[in-house]
Amino acid sequence: MNRDDFEILKKNIIYFDNGATTLKPNVVRDSILKYYDEYTANAHRGDYKTSAIVDNLYEEAREKVCKFINAKEKSEIVFTSGTTNSMNMIIFGYFKNYLKEGDEVLITLSEHASNIVPWFMLEKEIGIKVNYIDLDDKHEVSIDNVKKAITDKTKVISIAMTTNVVGDTRPIKEISKIAHDNNILMVVDAAQAVAHNKVDVQDMDIDFMAFSGHKMYGPTGTGVLYGKFDLLDKVTPFNYGGGMNAMFTKNGYVELREIPTRLEGGTPNIEGVLGLSEAISYIEDIGIDKINKYEKELRKYLISELDKLDFIDVYNKEVDTNIVAFNIKGVFAQDTAVYLDKYNICVRAGNHCAKILDNELNISNTVRISLSFYNNKEEIDLLINVLKNSENIWKEIL
């Protein structure tokens, strides 16, 4: 649905790599152009009209994000460059000060690198311990396994809302409840979730949450860090300098501004944030529940069609999201991706930045299809046809 909203879809591509980045609707592009053509100015800086326009739009964007994820107040929303940036900001700006040697952080084997590598670095730096919540037979997180993994030293549970290879969506609200009952903080990587599911940080009682703009129809280089006010207020800034200080004197006295401005030192990615703002409006205009329903139905169709092909292994048949991981039997994932590319079908091959998941899946590399609302059954039929002819794969790609 809504295919006409995307100029790029006129270019005869079948884009199935929405987990990597989504396409950008024309309205997002237009909002960025408008910033260039009509009111280029810095935010929070000038006294002239265009500067005031930018100021308002920038803070409006914050308001929109706040409502979109149902944060309590807009000061809990920090604009970042993406999920990785957001995760690093809290892991090194908050948890480095809050955690002590021997404290335990729980993650899972199916996390994205941005929710693993910074924790490993912190483990080396201050001696915390990174432990894993076991995944069940379907590579999913069960409440029982969360309970089993918790010890009296567990201080943080840091997991994705939706994972980027298996595509399972975790019961965040229930896990948060268990976490808080045990004085554990709940950190959520929502990068793969926000464009596909309704996310409510208050209802789910999330302490910190990170996500990217470009995976939700917005520009690259944009992201969000959400934190409950009292926690976010304790995050040490990464960037000291302009925009984030209230005053400083020649003898070294520095007073910093309030959050979230304090955590956004330097000129922000203004056009990106304005684009993200437009992307949120765009998603809301269609309706996240409508998107969710459509994508799930489309996925069911894709799975039912793939199921008819006995030379295809699907690794995550039962999950209820937009992601399908598969291989053509006996063909390396990358070769399948190159083959599909011959037909302008864009898929991702690889370990999808979840390099430790192969311990769990016993396969290192898969072809991943991640659907969006602009995909449709006709595209899936084309894909299936191309896969049906894949006995010719070597002839086609060599």
Partner 1 sequence: MDRNLKRSIILDNYQNANKKYISDGEEFTKINTRNVSCIDNLDIYIDLEDNIIKDISFEGEACVISISSTNILINLLIGKSKEDALYLIDNYLKMINEEEYDKEVLKELLVFDDTSKQPSRIKCATLTANGIKKFLENN
Residues in contact with partner 1 by CB under 8 A are 332-335, 338, 341, 349-351, 353, 364-365, 394-395, 397-398
Joined tokens for residue 143: 């409440």
Provide Rg for the chain, Cα atoms: 22
Shortest distance in whole angstroms from residue 13 CB to partner 1: 15
Measured CA to CA in angstroms, residue 71 lies from 180, 213, 215, 330, 378 at distances of: 18, 17, 20, 47, 38
Residue 232 burial (CB count, 10 A): 24
Comparing CB distances to partner 1, the nearer of 59 and 396 is 396
- CA 61 from chain centre, in angstroms, equals 18
Least distance in angstroms from the C-beta of 394 to partner 1: 6
Q: Is the dihedral of CA 353, 191, 374, 293 positive or negative?
A: positive
Closest distance to partner 1 from the beta carbon of 206 (Å): 30
In the complex, the smallest distance separating the C-beta of residue 366 from partner 1, rounded to whole angstroms, is 10
Q: What angle do CA 180, 210, 351 make, to 5 degrees?
A: 105
Residue 212 three-state SS? strand
Residue 373 CA to residue 378 CA, distance in Å, equals 13
Which residue among the candidates 41, 53, 353, 356 is catalytic per the annotation? 353
Q: Which is nearer to partner 1, 276 or 333 (CB)?
A: 333
- Among residues 90 and 323, whose Cβ is nearest to partner 1? 323
**Residue (250 or 395) nearer to partner 1, CB:** 395
41-50: burial string, b at 16+ Cβ within 10 Å, e else:
bbbbeeeeee
346 is catalytic: no
Q: How far is the CB of 216 from partner 1 (least distance, A)?
A: 23
Residue (25 or 82) nearer to partner 1, CB: 82
Taking each helix axis from N to C end, the angle separating 26-37 and 270-286, rounded to the nearest 10 degrees, works out to 150
Within 10 Å of residue 39's Cβ, how many Cβ atoms? Answer: 16
Query: Which residue's CB is nearer to partner 1, number 160 or number 367?
Result: 367
- Residue 369 CB, nearest approach to partner 1 (Å): 17
- Output the CA torsion sign for 309, 315, 319, 321: negative
The single-letter DSSP state of residue 82 is S
Active site positions, annotated: 353
